[in-house]
Each structure stands twice: as structure tokens, then as C-alpha cells.
Amino acid sequence: MSGNSAAETLIGAVVVFAAGAFLLYAGQFADLRGDSGSYPLAASFRSAEGVAIGTDVRLAGIKIGAVTDLDLDLETYQARVTFSIDQSVQIPEDSDIQIAQEGLLGGSFLEVTPGASEFMLSAGDEILNTQGSVSLINLLMRFGMQQ
């Protein structure tokens, strides 16, 4: 009986170790970090279709941040998107941001196109030049109506 108990204890320890290793790997793969290495920015869109909390923010195809909050501005009826940007990346104040698609069936992400200003955005600033998501269904409906 005591031999069986030792085997169960050993198997339990292996399971706990494997679970811990999996969580450590998942944390590194998901790039989970504290907010100490990032700063918040915001942008308002007519439509934020396809954007959710955790959606990537990219510059030149490289992930530089993630969406942290979505809210509806009740005065302008626009979607206000708050996102964090890696502290090492400075964004010029005249930059553009748009909701882009990875492909016809792919997910959405925010694409930052840097401007030419010498002045950089700081924590809490808003990117004013925005372009919302383009709905493939709406495009097809418009194309069908024109014919």
C-alpha cells in the first residue's frame, strides 16, 4: 500500500510540474508583461468592428502594443479605443492609425503609420487621424447596387 502511495505522489508531482511548465511557456508565448514597459494612447473610430481587447497594434507589420479598452463616446457616437504602446517606440504626433485586416478571412489589427513630426505623442494622447474598418459585405453591397 505504501508503494502505491509513493507512485501516486510521484505522478502528482509530475503533473504539477508539467502544469507549471505549461503556464510559464504560455506566459512567454503570449508576451504577458506588466504595464511598466508601455504607455497608453487612444483613437476614435466611426466603427471599431473586428477590434477587441487584446487586438494587436502594429507598426510596419511588427507588434508594438495591444488594445486595452473599448468604449462608446456618447457625445460623438464614435468608438474610443485605448491601447498601450511599448515604451521603446515613440509615435510622431501626426501619425495615422487604421483598422486593418490580415486577409479576407483573417482577424483585425490596428496599423500605425508614422508621421513626419518632430514632436512625439506622450502617455494619454490621442491619435486624431483615423480610418475605421472596411466591411467586405458593405463593399460588395455597394458594388452590386452600382450595376
Which pLDDT value is given to residue 12? 85
39: Cβ contacts below 8 Å, ≥ 6 apart = 84, 85, 87, 122, 123
The verdict on 78 and 136 lying in the same domain is yes
Task: Specify if 112 maps to a domain.
Answer: yes
Could you tell me if 21 and 79 lie in one domain? no
77 and 7 in a common domain:
no
Q: What is the DSSP letter of 18?
A: H
Separation between Cα atoms, residue 127 and residue 44, nearest integer Å: 8
47 plus 99 within the same structural domain: yes
What is the extent of the structural domain holding 20?
1-32
Closest CA to 67 of 29, 122, 112, 121: 112
Both 49 and 60 in one domain: the answer is yes
Say whether both 77 and 137 belong to one domain.
yes
Total domains in the fold of the chain? 2
Q: Which three cell numbers stand for residue 120?
A: 512625439
Threshold 0.75, pTM exceeds: no
Say how far apart CA 22 and CA 57 lie, in whole Å.
26
Q: Please indicate, yes or no, whether residues 7 and 68 belong to a single structural domain of this protein.
A: no
- pLDDT tens, per residue, the chain with 147 residues: 455 788 888 888 888 888 887 877 776 656 554 445 899 999 999 988 888 999 999 999 999 999 999 999 999 999 999 999 999 999 999 999 999 888 767 788 999 999 999 999 999 899 998 887 766 666 677 766 665
Backbone angles phi, psi at 3, to 5 degrees: -65, -40
107 grid coordinates: 482577424
Report d(CA 41, CA 81) in Å as an integer: 9
